[in-house]
Every structure is written in C-alpha cells, then in structure tokens.
Structure 1
C-alpha cells in the first residue's frame, strides 16, 4: 500500500513540476485537466494536494536556503521591501482614495450613462417615430399623388401610382393604422379612376358623335372624288369604264390616291382615350364590364343619331344628307374601332348596329317618300343614297337592304316620270292642230329631223337645199312626242348612273312605261279622235299613226342598244308597235267609211228614171259631183297619205262606187229599164271611167281602172242588151273573156230588165211582153221572153248557192 501511494505521489510530483513550469494559465490548465479527468474522487485529490504541499515545502526550503545564504542582502531587501511596502500602503491609501473618488465618479458616470441610455432610447423612439412618420408621409404623398394625377387626367399614371402604393409602400407601414385606412380606400380610388376614365371616354364618345356627321361628309366627298377619277379613267380607257366603283380593278387603279378618312387635314380622330380606358379596365380586371358598358353606350348613341321624322322636301336634301352622313361616320368609327382593338367590338355587334341604323333610315325615308311628287327631287334623293351606299360599300358593310330601298325609290321615280310624261302626252295630243307641220328654216328642220324617227326623202336629205317654208307630212305632235320619248329614256337611265344594281328592272320598267304611255295616251287618244267627221283630220291622224308605227320599230332597236343590263339579250318588242299598226288599220277603215259615206250620199242623189223615154245630153249631176269629190280628195285631203295607203284607198273607193252603181239597176224595185235610161246610166259610167283614165300617172290609173272592171263590163252588157245582142252573154265561148267580172245571175237579171232599142222603134208598148206588130210578132216576143226566163232559171239553179263576191 505505501508503495502504491509512493508511486502515485511520484507521478503527481512530476505533474506538479510541469504545472509550476507552465508559462501561462492555459498551459497550467492543460496540465491540470488530465489529472482532474483521471481523478478518482477524493483519493486522487488528496495526493495531489500533498504533492502540491510537498512542492511548496521544497520551494520554501529552497527559499530559506537561499535566504540563509544571502541574509544581509535579504535584510536589506526586506527593508527595502518594507519601504516599498510603506510606499505601497500609502499608494494603497491613495489608490483607495482614488478608488473612492473613481467610485463616486463612476456612480455619477453611471447616472450619466443611465441618462444617456435613457436618452438614447428616447432618441431611438424618436428616430423610429420619425421614420414611421416619413413612411406614412410617403404613403400619404403617393395617395395624394394618385388624386393629383386624376385631377390632371393622367389616369394610367394614377393607376400605376395606386398599384405601387398598394403593393410596395403600404407593405412597409402595415403596422400602422394609416396603412389599414389607405388599404380600405384603394377600391374606392380604383372606382374613382375607372369613373374618371369613363368620363373622359364618354366625353370622347360625345365628341365622336358630334364629329360623326362631319366625318361622314368627308367620306362622301372622298367617294365623290373617286367617282370623278373613275369617270376620267373611263373616258381614257373604255375597258376601265366597264368596272363599277369599289370593284377590285377600280380600287387598284385608285391606289395612288390614298386617303385616310380618320386622319386628314379636315378631321382627326384620336383613339387614345379609348385605348387608355381599355388598358385601365384591363388592369382593374373589369374588361368584360367595360366591353358591355361601351356597347350599351354606342347603342344609345346610335339611337340619338336617328331623328323622329325626316323632311325630304328641302331644296338640297340636307336633312337626308345629315342623317346618312351621321350614320356613315358612326359606322366608320365602329369599323376603325374593331380594327384598332382586340376583342372590344365583335363583328356581330357592329353588323347589328349597322343593320339597325339602315332599317331606321329606310323606315324614315319610306315614311316621308309619299311627300315627294317631283321626279327631279327624287333623283337628288337617290343620288345622296347612292353616294352613301358606295361609301359604306368601300368599308365592307352590307348594303343589300339599301339596294332594296333604291328599288322602292325607282318604282316611285318611274311612276312620277310616267305621270309627268302622261300629262305631257295628253296635252300634246289635245293641243295638236292635226295639220302637216310647217318648217320655216333649215335650223328648225334639222332640229325636227334630229329628234324624230323620220327619214326624209332623198331630195330633202340636205336641209340647205330645201326651199322654205316647207311642209312635213306629220303634225307637230309627232316630234313633240318623240322628244318626250327620248327624254323619258334619258331620265329613266339617269337613275342608274351612280349606283343601281337592278338594271333589268330599269329596262323592263322603261319598256312597260313606254308601251303604256304610247298605247294609252297617244294611240288610244288618236283612235278616239278618229270619230271626227273631217276626212282631213282623220287623214292626218293616219299619217301620224304611220310615223308612230315606224318610230316604235326604230325605238325597239334603240332600247336594245341603250339597255343597261349586260346580261340581257335578244330583241325588244313593244306592244305599241302592234297597237299603232292596228290603229292605222282602224284609221284606214275610218277614212274608207268617211269616203264611202260621202260617195254613198252622192250616189243616193242619183235620180234615174228607169222608164225614161229620152236620152239626156249630159252626165248626171250626181256623177259630176262624185268625180269632182274624187278629184278633190285626191289632190288635197288624201294628198298627205303614204302612197301605199293612198292607192289602197283610191282602189277601195272606186270599188265601192262600182258596187253602189251596180246596185242601182239591180234594185228589186226596178222592174224595167228603158234603153234611154240605160243610155243615161252608160253615159255616167263612161264619165267615171274617163275620169279615172285621165288621172295623173302618179295615181296609177291603170291599176285603179281595174277596180271598175265589173262596172265597165256590166255597162257593156247593158249596151248590148239595148242593141238586142244580149244573148252574147250566154255564149260561153266569148262571155268569159268579155264579161268575166259580171256575176252570172246579176247579168241575166239585168238582161231581163233592159229593153231593146228595136222594140221602141216598132212602136211597141213599154211592156216587154207586148209589141207594136201583129199576133205573130207578139208570139215571137213571148217565145223570146220565155226562152230568156228559161235561161235565167237555169243560171239561177247553177249559181244560186254562191255568195256575193268580195268587190275589193
């Protein structure tokens, strides 16, 4: 056991030696720590203490040894130490005093430090409060800046400032009450911005609405310039003239004349307020609401464009122009808005507004259309509407309903033209003198020829070679009607000059109106005037009808050339052509009636005494009057008739005379004709034949004499009957050549009535059944009479079933 302790002690002594030799506390501790770690409770600590004491004792012994060795030096050192100690004590006192002084100063300093610390806390609080105040003031500044920007109309800048305030600056002052207050005010401020920008947009929309009419006026003016340029191109190039306005070729040809309707010297439309409003509402997440509000506003503005009524009677159609210009400007802005924005205006919404405005305008125009009673005024109205259609067609708007309106306008226009020309035709027909038209000079002649469908004869082809005054065959109504016809055609086609797609309607309406006017107002009026008892007037009407028929034939060709529909083909046939032809035939019959009536009146004055016993020395008065009448109508009344009609009339008149004269001896009341009466009748017929043969060659007497063949042959038969040679009529070998025109029954009847000259010379009584001789002669006459009656009965049996021949 002592050995073990001794070993531990030796180990600890070494460790203690190392500790004592350590140069620093850390080395000391480094040596001590392992000993303490390895210590086993107090058993290890006690030896350590003993080791330390042992070392201490060794050191004291060594010191004592050193001191004993150097005692004197030690004593002096001790004294010196004593002195030092006294000085040390003194210094300690001073130090203590100084310590107390320092302590007092320290307490004061502590108080001051505490005060400083307190002041630093207050200062920190002040600094914090100042910073908080600065932050809050910045927030308030930004909030006020938002309102200042609103006041300056910088809506987007205000919205950005509000966004910065909400997302940046308010987050820095969230611990303050002001942040909560401003946070609550942000939605209200956003509403203020939205309302402010909508107010500006409404102001812009109001200005746009006020500018719409002027914008439409500028667009109309630009379209009119395009029309002029297209007409100029058409004058220089016929191919370009075949293309309408807004066609692809016209648009390409007009590319060099680009014009921005929305931005020019006259008008500028700035869409910035709309873009700003869209952007702000998009930033606010209110795009759908803004789109709906904008659409509702435009619908209300559309309604404000349409007036309650429309006056179409102002001189320049200003009311209609203002309405259509406003609609055009409104629609142009809608198209531009749709092109410049995305998803703001749907195509269906724009088309709906356009169609609504068109229907409203159509309703207003249709309601006021009945007040327009002037075709020129209606043509001006059509011109304004056509300009509107062409302008909007260039903006790709549908104009189908407006084309329907033009069709309505054309119906009204054509009816007004028809009424006006109907009145003109009626006045022309009623005021005409129905006399051949006199021409005073070459200018007048040229004008009449240029407007009339009349081909003058070869000797009148050059107006300068004609002797004036001269007479044209028709009356003055004919050129006047021709002028009106040309004017009607021109004015009808004026309707299609600018824009009218229903060209076939124009062609059809023109034909129908011409037919109706010519038939109802000219032809029927002339037919009504055929009731006149004056042959000269009827002859002039017939002449006019002849020229009207030719004019209608020429007019058909003119209508083919002038028709506006390029797809139409084939000839055009006017009903008026046939109507005038029928009327001409009616007039011919009327002239025949008047001539026949006069002839009949004259022949009724023929007072033949068929039992007369003397031969007159001169022609009967009625025959003289009849030939004089024929001469007069040929040289005056019928002179103006066309040659074909004139010849036909002469031939028919002579045929009627022939038939009337033939009926005189064949009258059932005439039972017996003396040869003296037959001689008078033959003399009158001969006078008539001589008159016809003496007519000038221009009347074709050779042909006219043929109409008297039956009368001449009957007269010849009567002459033979008087000579007692009537049996030749029944000789078939000679009768066909000499009496081929004489009806067999009538010839036999006439032979039965005519008394022979020999019977009178023998003193026979007037009765054909008695004679002046004896019984033998009586028997001979009775036998001859019986034979003649037998022959007559035979002819009646053979020809009794035949109807009366047509004398014409």
Structure 2
C-alpha cells in the first residue's frame, strides 16, 4: 500500500529552509514564497501545524540537553556567586581610596592657585620684555633700510622694507611705533624708486654715448666674419654659394665666438636695468616702468638721428657714424628684449628699428643727388652693406635697406655709364684708324690679354715689330668694357639681394654704350672719302662683333642671378653686324666709284677698222688699281670680307664693261672693236686668274662667255647665232650670257661685219678713196696710241 502523507508534511522542507536562514532578511525571503502558495485557510493551518511541530521538536531537544548538563550548570552558578562577593569587597576598598584622594586634591588645588598667580606676574614681565624687543627690532630694520639705500643696495633695501611691512610690523601693530613706521613706508618706497631711476637714467645716457662705439665693434666683427668666410670658400668653392648670415656660414663660424656686448673693447652691464625691473616689479609698477622706459628709448632714438647727412666726404664718415649708432642702439634693444621678460616686446623693438631705418634712408636719399663720383657711391654702398649684414645677424628685417641699395645701384650704374660714355667717345674720336703697330712681346701680350682677339700665328711664331689688324681704339675699348664689367660686379660682392637687376642693368648699359658710343660713332665716320679709313673701320667693326659674341658667353657665365638661365643676346651684336654691312657697302661704293671713273675713260671706237695688239690703257690702269687695293687698302680685312669686296668689284667691272657695247646709241660693232674689247676683257680675266681664286673667276664667267660669243660672231659665218640659240649648245658654251643682251650683241656685231663688208666693196670700187684711207689711218692710229700711253 502506498504511504499516507500527512497534509503538513509538504511544508516541512520549506520550514526547515526557513529555520536554517542565517539572518532575518533571509528568513523573510524564504517565508514569502511559501505564503504566496497558501490559497485557503486550510493550507495556512497546515503551515502553522508544520511550524508548531518543528517548535515542539526543538523544545524537546532543549529539554534533553538541559537534563544532560544540569550538574555543571549548578556548579557554574556557585562560582558566579563567589565572584560577585569578591567584586563587592573591591568596590568598598575603591570607595575608601577615593575619599583619601579627594582630601589630597584639595591641598593640591590650593598650591596650584598660588602657582598660577606667580606665573601670571612673570608672563606680564615677559610680555613687556618681548614687546620692547619687537619694537627695537622694527626700529633696527627701519634704520637698516635707510642704510642699504645709502649703500645703493636698493633691491635689498626694498626687500627689507617689504619684510618690515609684511612681517615685523604685524607683530607690533598694537603699538604707536607701528603706525609711525607704516606711514613712512610709501615715502621710503619712493626714495628707492627715485634712486633706481636715477641710476637707470645714468645707464641709459652711457648706453646712448656707447651706441656708436658698440656699432663700430659690431661692424668690425662682421668684417672679420667676411674675411673668414672668404678664406673658407677659397679653400672650398662649394661654400661660395652660401652668403654671410646663412645657416651654413653660421655653423662654419661657430668656433669663433664673440660677444659684441661683452668683450675687450666694450662691456655693457645690464645690472642697473635688471635692478630697476625687479624694484618696480616689487613695487607693483611694472607697467608704468615699461611705458616710461619705452618713452625714454624713443626720445633717445630721436636724439640719435641728425637733421642732415653729408655724403661728399671721401670715407663716408658721417654715414658710418650714423649707421654705427643705429646698429649699437638696435643691438642694445634686441639684447634687452632677450634678457628681460615683458619689458620690450618684439613690436616695440621692430617699430624703433623701422623708424630709424626710414630716417636713415630719407637722409641718404636726400644727399644722393649731390654725388657725382661712382667710387664714392661704392664706398657708401659698402658701409650700408656692412650695416645690413651686421643687423641681419641680429634678426632685424632689412628689406627697406635692400631697396635703398637698389636705388644706390641705379645711381651708381648711371654714373658709371656716363663716365665710360665719355671714355668711349674720346677713344673713338682720337683714334688714328690705322692698323696698330706692336714693337715688342710685352706690348703684344698686353693687347692680346685685354682684347677678344685670336691671332693667326702662335705667340712663339710672331715676329716683332708687327702690326695687328685693328686700330688702337679696339683694345682701349676692350679695356674699358672689362673695367665696366668689373665695376658693375663690384656692387654685388657684398650683401645685395637684387642680383638679377645687376645682370639686366649691365646688359642694357653695355648695349647702349656699344651701340651709341662705339658703333654709331664708327658708322658716322663711314662718310669719309678715304677707302683706307673705311677699311679700318670695317676691320674694327668685325672685331667688335666678335667681342660682342664673346661678351654674350662671358655674361651668361658670370651673371649674378642663379635662377636665370639660357643665353644672353646683346643688341650690339646685331648693330655691329649691320654696321659691317654698311661699311662694306661704303667700300663697295668707293671702289666702284673709282672703277666707274676708270671705265669712263674707255674710248672704244666701235666702228674702228684698226685692230690693236694689246689691252687698252684704261684696262691696264684698272687692273693696277685692283692690285693696289688688294695689296694695300684691303690688306688688313678678314679674308672673307676682302673676297666679298673683290668679288663685288669684279662683278661691277663686268657689268660696267658689258654695258659699254650695249649702249643704245651704238648701232653696230666692227670686228676690230670686238677684238679690242676682247683684249681688254682677257687682260682683266688673266689678272683675276693670277689671283688663284676660283670664286673670283666665277664672277667673270658672264663677261668671258659674252666676249667669246662676240668673237665667234665677228667671223660672220652664222655659227655664233646657231650655237647661241641652240638650247643644248648654248647652255654648255654660253650659259652665263643673258639672252636679251647676247641677241642684241649678235645683232650689233653682225651689222658691224656687214657694214665692213659693204665698206670693202665700196673701197674696191673707188681706189683713190681706199688709198687715202689706207694712208691716213695708220698715222691716226699711231697718234691715238701715243696719246693713250701718255695718259
């Protein structure tokens, strides 16, 4: 059978858990779920019944335990009773002892009251003694403040006064002496501030007096840095690209330490300034002191600048003094800003610097127009450049001074240009326009070194005395050109930012000098009637053209601006080229004019029946003139130009000679006149052939072929016309002959031949007339030949 479960048994487990709870909170937590499950009063009764059963079980357990230990419990109770009896006895003894102590305490209290009374009297005495000591200490400190002030130990005096006011006076505030000293503190502080300001004003006055010498020392130090830097980049050319005050220069020169403010020459002690700053800071007057100091420095700056500046002295002494004073003043300002806090701001220092720079620039600009010497301007530039480099090392902006240097350079370039203009003009006007004689090797070397000229012979092969192709003006102008370049580039040796301006100014100035003062002056002299002078001018122009081309390369290599690139082209090069052409044309004109004069003396009798055996006198004179021109007048010209002139002269002669038989007034040409014309032409051709120059011979091809055509035509067989008008034959034999001119000459020669044949027929019909003609003509011809020989 299954076991019967009592109704309260289902709550026994929950009740056991509730009883085992460690705390009241856990007990409640365990009880709440059980109570939630009670749905009616019957189940609640079951829970109560379960709890009662547990309670009864525990009570029975307690009784069982108590029954087991009853005798031990009785023994413990007896022991507690004995202990309680002992405690009562001890309490009685303690009460007795307390009464005894109370009696002795009354006596001690009486003694203590007596002691307290004696101590109060003694404390009053001690207090009076201490008060007297405190007052004496205050008086001592007050006197010490005045002693320190007299000893000029003002900061210590101020600190002592502050200690007196904030420490010692507070200890004696209840005494009248404290009030008296308290009222004297402001007056004492004013005495200290006035004494400090007096020392500071003295220091500022000395600083103003020392500024010029301080600037001079700074300039000297910068000059020494320049020298060391120059020596370094001479040893290492790579350093030449780094200027003074650059990072590379600063690192290279850091071993040479030099304190401008503290050295063997000058010492600037900032102690008075520091003391004034500390004292005014302690007085709470820092802002007022800063404003007063700033106003004082502005007044000193105004006293530093003169009302006018004289730049006409040779050493630029006044300018040096002014810039040294400004430099010293600015160095002290920068050092003050670096050594102090909040006394001098960067804006204040820069404002004073800009003001001084603008004043100096104004003074210099007003005095510049009076300067008419470029060397003096170079010295002025050197002083300003030294000033710029010195102040650049202290971190000051020098942009406005760079603009001043640019203005000075413009003035410098104008003066240089004016001076060299006069030199060039004098050289050109006083030249003898003759090839330059050289007497010895020293003269030769000097001329070659300064001139852009490459001799045909080596130095060892040159014989002396000798003659150079150009006249004396060319090397003199070359010397001036080199001097002009050196003078211009001198301006860029020191600090000068606008190097591109130097290059542009140099190029434009050189162009102007060479074009207007040299080239134009030479062109003006081309109006001369002396061929030798014109030839010399042409030779000089050719060398000047070569010099310009060399200058272009030289300027491209030596230009200051590293950013510029590409070739440099001088306008003067083209000007000299054009002038050469004008000179060549002028020589052509003179030579051709003389040729025309000689050809005009030609007296051809185109209807003559006399056949000469030699060239005409005018042709002999003409070839003699050409020979003389070649060997004397044109001797100094370059070969190309000489050949060109000769070629043009021969072409002109050829054209002029060919024009003689083509004259419209001449209707026919006799065979004898053709022979005379051929003899003259062949004489000229042989002369040119003797020159052994195929190019010159080509210039006479038309004359030679035309004369040959006329010689063939005079035979009267019609062969000339057949060959000339045949395309293939004419091209081979008479290709240079003009078709129209050749046809006209063939017609005239043909008519001359026909006329002579007609005259021969008429003479055969009239023997008398023929006899007269035969008898008279030789005599006439002989006399004509004598007259021509005489001329």
TM superposition score normalised by structure 1: 0.74
What do residues 518-567 of structure 1 show as CA deviations (whole Å, max 9, x unaligned)?
A: 12211122111112111111111111111111122222222222122222
Residue 487 of structure 1 pairs with residue 479 of structure 2: no
CA contact (8 A) 1:692 1:705 kept: yes
Distance 1:163 1:561 in 2: 73
The residue aligned with 1:715 is: 707
The residue aligned with 2:730 is: 735
The residue aligned with 1:651 is: 647
Q: SS of the counterpart of 1:478?
A: helix
Residue 703 of structure 1 pairs with residue 695 of structure 2: yes
Distance 1:605 1:146 in 2: 127
Distance 1:693 1:394, change over 3 A: same
Q: SS of the counterpart of 2:255?
A: helix
The residue aligned with 2:467 is: 471
The residue aligned with 2:268 is: 269
Q: SS of the counterpart of 2:306?
A: coil
Q: Which runs of 5+ in 1 are unaligned?
A: 1-25, 28-123, 775-808
Distance 1:597 1:310 in 2: 65
What do residues 31-64 of structure 1 show as CA deviations (whole Å, max 9, x unaligned)?
A: xxxxxxxxxxxxxxxxxxxxxxxxxxxxxxxxxx
Distance 1:737 1:168 in 2: 134
Distance 2:722 2:326 in 1: 99
Residue 599 of structure 1 pairs with residue 591 of structure 2: no
CA contact (8 A) 1:759 1:771 kept: no
Where does 1:393-472 land on structure 2 (aligned, <5 Å)? 393-457=392-456, 460-462=457-459, 464-472=460-468
Distance 1:725 1:471, change over 3 A: farther
CA contact (8 A) 1:729 1:735 kept: no
What do residues 658-691 of structure 1 show as CA deviations (whole Å, max 9, x unaligned)?
A: 1111112212222333444333333322322232
Equivalent of residue 628 in structure 1, options 597, 608, 624: 624
CA contact (8 A) 1:473 1:640 kept: yes
CA contact (8 A) 1:729 1:739 kept: no
Residue 751 of structure 1 pairs with residue 746 of structure 2: yes
The residue aligned with 2:538 is: 542
Residue 330 of structure 1 pairs with residue 329 of structure 2: yes
What do residues 83-125 of structure 1 show as CA deviations (whole Å, max 9, x unaligned)?
A: xxxxxxxxxxxxxxxxxxxxxxxxxxxxxxxxxxxxxxxxx9x
The residue aligned with 1:257 is: 256
The residue aligned with 2:384 is: 385
Distance 1:690 1:167 in 2: 129
Residue 504 of structure 1 pairs with residue 500 of structure 2: yes
Where does 1:134-213 land on structure 2 (aligned, <5 Å)? 146=145, 149-163=148-162, 166-167=165-166, 183-213=182-212
The residue aligned with 1:87 is: none
1:315 deviation in Å? Answer: 1.5
Distance 1:693 1:264 in 2: 89
Distance 1:669 1:757, change over 3 A: closer
Distance 2:348 2:695 in 1: 85
CA contact (8 A) 2:607 2:752 kept: no
1:272 deviation in Å? Answer: 0.6
1:228 deviation in Å? Answer: 1.0
Equivalent of residue 585 in structure 1, options 578, 581, 584: 581
Distance 1:669 1:758, change over 3 A: closer
The residue aligned with 1:311 is: 310
1:394 deviation in Å? Answer: 1.1
Distance 1:763 1:243, change over 3 A: closer
Q: SS of the counterpart of 1:438?
A: strand
Q: SS of the counterpart of 2:312?
A: coil
Distance 1:567 1:758 in 2: 83
Q: Which runs of 5+ in 2 are unaligned?
A: 1-102, 105-123, 767-791
CA contact (8 A) 2:211 2:328 kept: yes
CA contact (8 A) 2:539 2:636 kept: yes
TM superposition score normalised by structure 2: 0.76
Equivalent of residue 663 in structure 2, options 664, 667, 673: 667
CA contact (8 A) 1:718 1:750 kept: yes
1:319 deviation in Å? Answer: 1.0
Where does 1:514-553 land on structure 2 (aligned, <5 Å)? 514-553=510-549
Distance 1:651 1:685 in 2: 16
CA contact (8 A) 2:503 2:561 kept: yes
Residue 278 of structure 1 pairs with residue 277 of structure 2: yes
Distance 1:494 1:368 in 2: 22
1:185 deviation in Å? Answer: 4.4
1:375 deviation in Å? Answer: 1.7
Q: SS of the counterpart of 1:255?
A: coil
Distance 2:550 2:327 in 1: 45
Residue 366 of structure 1 pairs with residue 365 of structure 2: yes
Where does 1:540-579 land on structure 2 (aligned, <5 Å)? 540-579=536-575
Distance 1:612 1:661 in 2: 18
CA contact (8 A) 2:668 2:752 kept: no
The residue aligned with 1:65 is: none
Distance 1:245 1:315 in 2: 27
1:624 deviation in Å? Answer: 2.7
1:168 deviation in Å? Answer: 6.1
Distance 1:147 1:371, change over 3 A: farther
CA contact (8 A) 1:723 1:758 kept: no
Distance 1:173 1:142 in 2: 13
CA contact (8 A) 2:713 2:720 kept: no
What do residues 500-521 of structure 1 show as CA deviations (whole Å, max 9, x unaligned)?
A: 2222222222222222221221
1:402 deviation in Å? Answer: 1.6
1:158 deviation in Å? Answer: 3.6
1:207 deviation in Å? Answer: 0.5
1:762 deviation in Å? Answer: 4.9
1:482 deviation in Å? Answer: 1.4
1:585 deviation in Å? Answer: 1.5
CA contact (8 A) 1:762 1:773 kept: no
1:438 deviation in Å? Answer: 0.7
Where does 1:36-51 land on structure 2 (aligned, <5 Å)? none
Distance 2:345 2:588 in 1: 79
Distance 2:663 2:183 in 1: 132
The residue aligned with 1:642 is: 638
Distance 2:697 2:271 in 1: 102
Distance 1:173 1:532, change over 3 A: same
CA contact (8 A) 2:669 2:752 kept: no
Where does 1:793-804 land on structure 2 (aligned, <5 Å)? none
RMSD: 3.1
Q: SS of the counterpart of 1:471?
A: strand
Distance 1:241 1:578 in 2: 35
Where does 1:227-238 land on structure 2 (aligned, <5 Å)? 227-238=226-237
The residue aligned with 2:319 is: 320
The residue aligned with 2:39 is: none
